[in-house]
Amino acid sequence: MTSARQRIHITGRESEILGMIARGMSNQQIADVLGISVNTVRSHAANIRLKYRVNTRAELALAFRKAATGLSPRHRFGKP
């Protein structure tokens, strides 16, 4: 289980994309802002979901907000 003390390492680009996902931006919007393809955004988002061990964008956005407040990204989901 991920504890509040364990940090999930994501790249700078993944962090940028994660913030945009948390703000509710679509893959197309993110791609347009960053000047990358939608497939690249999807790939980054999939990698981030794997690292945070979540399945959906909604869970990912919640994990981001919890991480920003210092709570465990897995706190709400109760997954090991």
Assigned CATH topology for domain 12-68: Arc Repressor Mutant, subunit A (1.10.10)
Gap between the Cα atoms of 60 and 22, Å rounded: 7
Gap between the Cα atoms of 71 and 63, Å rounded: 9
Report if pTM > 0.85: no
Gap between the Cα atoms of 47 and 16, Å rounded: 13
Higher pLDDT, 7 or 32: 32
Confidence class for position 64, pLDDT limits 50, 70, 90: confident
Output the DSSP codes for 24-73.
Answer: T--HHHHHHHHT--HHHHHHHHHHHHHHHT-SSHHHHHHHHHHHHTTS-T
